Every structure is written in structure tokens, then in C-alpha cells.
Chains A and B, each alone.
Chain A
Amino acid sequence: MVDRALDPAVVLERRQLAQTWETPRTVVGWLSSVDHKEIGKRYLVTAFVFLLLGGVEALILRLQLARPNEAVLSPEAYDQIFTLHGVTMIFLYALPVLSGFSNYLWPLLLGSRDMAFPRLNAFSYWTFLGAGVFIYASVFMGQAPNAGWFDYVPLAGREHDPGLNIDVYALGIVFLGVSTTVGAINFVVTLLRTRAPGMSINRMPILVWGTITASVANLFAVPALTAACLLLWLDRQFGMHFYDIAGGGQPLLWQHLFWFFGHPWVYALVLPAMGIVSDALPTFCRRPLVGYTAVALATVATMVIGFGVWVHHMFAVGMPPLAMSFFGAASMVIAIPSAVSVFAWIATIWTGRPVWTTAFLYFAGFILLFVIGGVSGFMTAAVPLDWQLTDTYFVVAHLHYVLLGINVFPVIGGLYYWFPKMTGRLMDERLGKWSFWTAFIGFNVAFFPMHVAGLMGMPRRIYTYPAGMGWGGPNLITSVGSFVFAAGVLLTVWNVIRSRTRGAPAGANPWDAPTLEWSVASPPPAYNFARLPIVASRHPLWEDRLGEGTGRSVLDSDIRLTEGRETLATTPLDAEADAILRMPGDTPIPLLLGLALTVLFFALLWKGWWLAGAALVVSALLTAAWLRPSRRAPREESARG
């Protein structure tokens, strides 16, 4: 690229753009920002805080389970901490952290200046934070949720659990669902509307495929959990009868609704993470991903099949054999698209020239863990085996291999990969390698023996166990391994903190990566692209090397769009320019609306109906202020500068 940064006309143009797009460096400015990069970073930091909280909880659990008849925790405390750990990891860490990456990266990957709905983006962050605070407030009331992250009735019913614990769960999950849903809507519309000219769907990075698939799935899966929690809350607060047999209800209704959500959701937790690997791994192999189309299709196929297999979480509840065979088989079919991705990654490494950076190590480690987790998943999908293994530690081992393996390892790898883009500085490689090996070894030491404990019959969700069962050995190893793993994660956290100020300057493209986000400065300017790019291939920055596609991407085009916050809208499939979008400026309304909803949910928890009503009215007024029509009429203009 020719550096035109010295041309006075260009300098002026950029200064003007910066003025339009930058958020004032004041508290109000900070609270009002709708910049997707800012929001993405907030998501990442918040989700990491929750990862650490969930990790501390996990370590406390492991202290309790390290030896037989241990009494670090009372049974009640165990229940709360174990539930909080699951809820935190699943709802407050695993998905939000991926939203963080996607929010930060999408417009940069797609060659746009912002998401389709910047204010909605800010709102989804504030509601996520509000829901997190809501759930964690229960800890200070001593009433944290205590029936597991799956929250099965009748255990979670009022007779067995009369405190506020489960109400916190039910309301908190509904609240969080608001955040997830509006986030998903934003991704869907962003994908349809704001890709750079030429960014047709067969040129989108796999991370985009993963996030869009997860988002569409969320639109259909999250309402199942919302419905389940709403009915639970009504049962508990108003004595309704959805789940109790006595009044004509059915406990299994909870399980169906919960797992109809739960199973697709686990794919929402992994597909964007798999996308991180599919996009970042090839950079370190110095070649494009093998089988791009197959991997993109596999992503979508996984989700489609994923909607049909929820019953495999319920094999033990007693069902007709035909239903069980069907759902068992369907569960195994899902291994096919997963295998497609695995083979694509292996082939990419095999035929490439891997550079052994920390990020690469995390991705390579991920592939191994994914395979182990996949095999144990295959085992539990076989009905007779599942009958043996269900509700044992084997399942806990499987679940951690997939969740940590497919979510945490790619996320940390992605952090090492994109940190230079976000901060302008590289992370320390030596510390990074230490963190990887500590985490990787600690992880396997911690979780592999859980398979053994499970096969030896150790049930899951128990707060202690008697001596002489033979479970003491594997449990002690597991506990030691957990602490080693935690140390590995802490090394990464330390690395982040240190490198933010002391890392080596990164430059625009330190990894020599092929995708659009690396074509702009690190960190990117508030407006992302001074001139909007026109894309001609899947790897705009590697075109000279690959000779791919017919034309050449234009990264410094003459599309300027400098009249206020503007970006280009393109058509959904072929990404042809079709309008100039005027984007909204910064505003505190999303924050205020998030606050109003937080008040609403606390009011519902404490049955302050008047306060709840007031919060609703305030929310409605804020929404009206948000959506007030613009007086500007559409006009016609050329996008060229």
C-alpha cells in the first residue's frame, strides 16, 4: 500500500473523520459511547471477570472435593457455589466473551464503520452487565441460585426451594435473554446490510459464519428458556401448575423446554469460537484455510442438526425406545460436520508452514481437546452407554473438555492473536508459552481423571463422598490439576495487564494476516476505515501472494463518506452498494434503559409492583425517545469522494 498519510488533504480528511466519530474523553462520553470497538472490549473484559469469578468458585469446589469427607463447604454452600459456577460460566462468560470478539471484529472484518444498530449494541452490553449484577447480587443476600445451571424442577419448585434463590435464577435468565436477543438481532441485520462492496457471502470470514449461525439459533432457542423461566416464576410466585404433578403439571415440561434451548446453545458457545480458529489458524500456517466452503456449510449444518437432538440430555427419564434411537442417531450425525472442521484444520496445519506462536499453540491444543471431548460426547450419545454414564463424573469430564476445549482455548488464542490489533501492542510470547503449557497440562491433569472417577461410578453434583470408594485418588489429582490450570489462565491475565503498557509496538499487521481488520492501524481509528474498502477476494491482504480471484481488492478506494457518521449499506447476498446509511451518534439512552430494566427486575424479585410499574413506564418513554423519527428526509448522493 502507498502511504498517503502525509498528503495534507488526506490529513485533513482524517482529522475531520476523527472529529465526527470519536467519543469525547469524559465520563459522560464514556457512558454514551456506541462505538462497536469500545463495546466489544467492554464485553471481553466483563466476560473475563466472570471467567475469573467462576474459576474461583470452581477452585473452592475442588478444595471441597479433593479428599473424602471434606468439610470446607456445607452442603447448602456447595449447592450455591456449584450452581453459580455453572451459571457464570455458561451464561455470563462463554457466550458474552464471543459477543465481545464479534462486536469488536465484525465491522472491521466486513469493511464497515459500525454495526447496523450501534445503540442497540450498547444496550445489549448494558443489559448483560445489569443481568450479571442482578445474579451476583444474590450472593450478598446469601441467596444465590442453588439448583444447578439446568435448574431442574421439582428441585427448583417452591416446596423444595422456598427462598429467593430460584427466583433470582428465573428472572436473571430472562433479563440476560433480552441482552442475547438484541445482540443476535444486531448481528443478523449487520450481516444483511453493512458489508463492504464485494464482500459476498462466500468471502466472509468463518468467524462471521459462526456468529451469524449462533445468532440465528439464539433467536429461536433463547425463547424456549425464557418461556421455561417465566412459567417457573409463575409457578413459584402465583402458585400456578406448569411443573407440579399435583396440579396437572409435568416436571418433564421443564426439561423439554430447557434442553430445547440448551442443546442449540452449546453450539452457540462453540461455533464462533471454532470460527476464531478457522480464521486465525491459517495465518500462522501461512496458507488459506483448507475447505473454506465445507467448513462454512458444516457450521450451518451443525446448528441445524443441533436443534434436533435436545432429547439426548433426557435418555434417562424413560422414553419410548424408538424416540431414543432416533435422538441417539441424530446426536451421532452431528459428529460429521464437526469432523469436517477438524480435518480442515489438520489439513491446514499439515500442508502449511506453521509458526509456533502462543496463539498457534492454543489453537493446536484446542484441536486435541476438541477431539477428546468429541469422543466422549459420541459415547454419551449411545443410549446404553449413556444410561451407564449419565449423572456421573464422566459427563462432567466431557462437558469441561468441550466447553473449556472449544471455548476457552480458542478464546485465549484469539486474545493473543487480536490483542495487538486492539491495543497496538504485542503480548509477551515467552510468558504466553508458559501460560499455554501450564494451562494445557493443568487442564488434562484436572479433567482427564474425571473420566476415570465417572467410570468408577462417582455421581456428579455431590458435595462429598465417603472414603474407600476408590474415588479419592482421581479427585486429588483433579484438584491439583485445577490449580495448575488456573495458574495458566492467570499468567495470561498478567500478560494482558503487562503488555497493555509495556508490550512491543505491533504495527498494523504483525502476523502478516490476510483479512481486512489488519489493513487499518492498530488500534483502529474510531471510524475504522477512512476510505471504505472494496473487496475482491477472501484474503484481501494476501492477493498478491495467492493470485486468488479475478480482480484486486481496493483498500484505499475513493469512497469517502465524510458528512457525519456515515457508512455504506449493501445488498444481502452479493454485497452491492445500495444506500448510504446515516449512523446515530453517541447517546446515554441505552445505558439509562439498561438501568431502568435492572430496576424492573429487582422490583419483580422483591415484589415491589409499583416500582416495577414505574420502571416499565420509564422504559417505554426512553424507548420512544430512542426511536423518535428523524426529520431528515432521504436524499440522493454519490458515494465517491
Chain B
Amino acid sequence: MADLSLDRPLPVAPSGYRSSGWWGLATVIATEAALFVFLIFAYAYLGSQSATPWPPGGAPALRLAGPNTVVLLASSLAAWWGQKGIERGRRGQLVLGLAIALVLGAVFAGVQGLEWAAKPHGPSDSAYLSLYFTITGVHLAHVAVGLAVLLALLVWAALGEFTAARHEHVGVGLLYWHFVDAVWLVVFTTFYLTPRMGIF
């Protein structure tokens, strides 16, 4: 019976502590993931209906996007390492991990900008380029939000807001950052790898 378990003391926590915040973010991720599913669906649909070869001009080059993918994954790794630190009460490790993640994330965004600039045509040139700029753009917007989250966590960490007993924000915020990375893998696979695999 439910009331039996009430006899033991319960953890008293600020709202959002433990699962509320985590579940909240999990639902955000579910709905955001759905958004990307529909955008990728648009890519697949227009690709499948295209009368001309798809993608026009062949698969895009991996020269920038390949290494950039590694940069983004490394940033997730750094953030994860920082989180491990605060779980053991090492605030310095958290600050360092977040700072590295932030820099790597910013590098990713910058390289993505270079890649955009290198395209000879703009988003209004063809359906394919509309898709390319829009989907990578929506992802970049998520990167921007993620960087803002990392920045906020970094500031709070530097101000000493987090301790071994109190760091729920770090776990939840970084979950979002890992999600942004995971989405990039899907976007990357769609635009860069599937054409090479002979799908579309």
C-alpha cells in the first residue's frame, strides 16, 4: 500500500529536482526529434519525387563536414567529463569541461558557416538547396540554443551554484546538448552519407 512507504523520510527537493526536470526535458526532446523527423521526411519526399538526379550535382563533399562532426562529438564528450567531475564535487573539472564544450560547439557553428559560404548557390536556387539550408539551419538554431545552455551552466558553475549534492541543472542541460549532437548525426547521415550509399 502506498501509505506504508510514507513512513520513511522523503527527500525534500526544489521543484524539478530529480525526475521532474529530467522528464520535462525528455518530452522536449521527443517533440523536437519529431520536428526533425518531419523535416527529414520533407527531404525524402522531395527527393523521391524529383524528376532530376538527386542530390543535384552529387553528394556534398565531406572535407569540412566530416571533421566538423568529430568536433561536435568531442564537445559532447568534454561536457560529459565535466559532469562526471561535479558528481564527485570537483567544480574545476566541471568548469573546464563546459568551457571546452562551449569552444568546440562554437567551432562547429563557425565551420558550418564556412560550409554555407562555400556553396555556390543560395537556398532559393533549388528545392534541394532549400532543404539543405533549412535543415542545417534549424540544426544550427538548436546548436545556438545549446551553446546558450552551456554558457549559462558555465557561468553558474563558475559562480559556485553547483555542488556534489546539487547539480540537477547540469545533467538536464547536458542532455539537451547530447541531443543536439545526436540530431547532427542524423542530418549528416541524410545529406552526406545516404547519397553515397546509393539511397537517393
- Whose C-beta in chain B lies nearest to the C-beta of A630? B14
Cβ-defined contact, B24 with A579, below 8 A: no
Alpha-carbon separation in the docked complex, A198 to B37 (Å): 38
Within residues 128 to 172 of chain B, which ones have a CB less than 8 A from any CB in chain A? 128, 130-131, 133-134, 138, 148, 152, 156, 161-163, 165-166, 168-169
Chain A interface, DSSP helix/strand/loop, else mixed: mixed
Per DSSP, are chain B's interface residues mostly helix, strand or loop, or mixed?
A: helix
Count the A residues whose beta carbon is within 8 Å of the partner chain — how many? Answer: 75
In angstroms, Cα B66 to Cα A102, docked, is 48
Complex Cα distance, B39 from A231, in Å, reads: 9
Contacts of B134 in A (CB 8 A): 230-231, 234, 240, 242
The answer on a CB contact under 8 Å between A579 and B10 is: yes
Query: Out of A188, A235, A639, which one reaches B6, CB within 8 Å?
Result: A639
A162-203 toward B: CB 8 Å interface, digit per residue (1/0)?
Answer: 000000000000000000010011001100110001100000
Residues of A contacting B1 in the complex (Cβ-Cβ under 8 angstroms)? 198, 551
Q: Within 8 Å CB of A117, what residues of B?
A: 15-16, 20, 24
Q: A253 — which chain B residues lie within 8 A by C-beta?
A: 42, 45-46
* Alpha-carbon separation in the docked complex, A570 to B18 (Å): 12
Which residue of chain A lies nearest to B163 when distances are taken between CB atoms in the complex?
Answer: A633
Q: State whether B23 touches A188 (Cβ < 8 A).
A: yes
A250 and B49 contact, Cβ closer than 8 Å, known pairs A220-B34, A584-B15: yes
Q: Given contacts A117-B24, A257-B41, A534-B3, list 19 more A-B pairs with CB under 8 A.
A: A197-B3, A198-B2, A219-B31, A224-B34, A230-B138, A231-B134, A240-B134, A242-B127, A248-B46, A253-B42, A535-B2, A557-B3, A569-B20, A581-B17, A582-B15, A633-B163, A634-B12, A637-B12, A638-B8
**Complex contacts, A633 vs chain B, CB 8 Å:** 163, 165-166
A241 partner residues in chain B, CB cutoff 8 A? 124, 126-127, 130
Name which residue of chain B comes closest to A620, CB basis. Answer: B148
- Indicate the size class of the contact surface on chain B: 35 or more
When distances are taken between beta carbons in the complex, the residues of chain A under 8 Å from B152 are 624, 627
In the complex, which residues of chain A have a beta carbon less than 8 angstroms from the beta carbon of B15? 116-118, 581-584
User: In the docked arrangement, what's the CA distance between A248 and B130, Å?
Assistant: 10
- Minimal beta-carbon separation of B111 from chain A (angstroms): 23
Residues of B within 8 A of A582 (CB): 12-15, 17
Q: Is the CB of B27 within 8 A of A248?
A: no
CB of B11 within 8 A of CB of A634, answer yes
Q: Is A611 an interface residue (CB 8 A)?
A: no
Q: Select one of B2, B17, B23 contacting A575, CB under 8 A.
A: B2
Q: CA–CA, A580 to B5, complex, Å?
A: 13
Min C-beta distance of B115 to chain A, whole Å: 18
A249 in the interface (beta carbon within 8 A): yes
Q: How far is the CB of A36 from chain B (nearest CB, A)?
A: 14
B189 within 8 A of A: no
Residues of B within 8 A of A228 (CB): 38
CA A184 – CA B16 in complex, angstroms? 17
Q: Does B70 contact A (CB under 8 A)?
A: no
- B-facing mask of A591-632, CB < 8 A → 1, else 0? 000000000000000000000000000001000100111111
Query: Could you list 14 A-B pairs, sorted by A, with CB under 8 Å?
Result: A189-B27, A220-B34, A227-B39, A240-B133, A247-B126, A248-B52, A253-B46, A577-B2, A580-B13, A582-B12, A633-B166, A634-B14, A634-B166, A635-B11
